[in-house]
Structure 1
């Protein structure tokens, strides 16, 4: 997709994505709202009542996958629904050669945005093949698309906070490989104070304490949280760690899933 942005609105993250489609809005609307078409490209099978206030049931691999409500239903312009507390809003705008599809996805986990972005990009690829009447054969993301979204949305930027004990630098990053695959890539560069494979590694340096944590994340990879505390200034640490985490993510692309 194109023109992707990530904003914070009323404390929640909103991912906005656009795609120009060479099909009239009426045809795209059916792909967005007809369960028999949704099953071919949407991440779940859907049962819905096509009206504002209507209920939605999501099914994944034959098992219940959450529920939701229709918030907006304005054929063939706006279709907005909830899914387990998240909001998906699809808007169809006029375009010379068809229509412009605009997706706004509202959720809480900001650092999951790259997983959502790459996933929706592949879903809309599949929908476009459906609209074109072509076989739907979309290869899964190996991690490259995900990491392009990390860069695009600024999710590889760290944060810094000044405390009475010095500056704290923090990075949170969704990875594309599980914790067991990531762990061998972590190294202690100081006196180890905690090692809990494959969850946590902490060590003391002359310029502060470094802590790596690997927790459950979105998609198929671990969520990495890295902090360095006790810094006199955050600038060098922010630049250094960003580069090192970008390198780590690139190395993981060559590791087995």
Structure 2
């Protein structure tokens, strides 16, 4: 996966499993804003030092999402369709409807 917000996903996972916070936050990433079919999309691009398959798993598998993201999903996000995203970064988890509109493993996830 040529890059996306996934950058540092595995660094973050590694650091969390070691029981500490990252010594330095990841550098800011350029974000592009695109209008597509009447919707705005933020696109983050990053180059990663990890195998594509591991980054894809970190972005799509509920168990891995919960390790680095402020949310988890009710299903694997590798396929298109509706999903429920549960925000877990607060004392009161909150469910939100979400949709995977494009999934081309292991390169594209929208």
The answer to whether the superposition gives a TM-score over 0.5 is yes
1:77 has 2:101 as partner: no
Larger relative strand fraction: 1
- Number of residue pairs matched? 79
Residue 22 (structure 1) shift: 0.3
Structure 1: unaligned runs, 5 residues or longer: 81-257
1:51 to 68, 79, 87: 79
1:76 and 1:59, CA in 2 relative to 1: closer, same or farther beyond 3 A? Answer: same
2:95 to 45, 61, 65: 65
Structure 2: unaligned runs, 5 residues or longer: 1-27
The residue aligned with 1:2 is 29
Structure of larger gyration radius: 1
1:67 and 1:3, CA in 2 relative to 1: closer, same or farther beyond 3 A? Answer: same
TM-score scaled by length of structure 1: 0.27
Larger relative helix fraction: 1
1:10 and 1:45, CA in 2 relative to 1: closer, same or farther beyond 3 A? Answer: closer
Aligned equivalents of 2:107, 2:34: Cα separation in 1: 23
The residue aligned with 2:22 is none
RMSD, aligned CA:
2.3
Residue 27 (structure 1) shift: 1.1
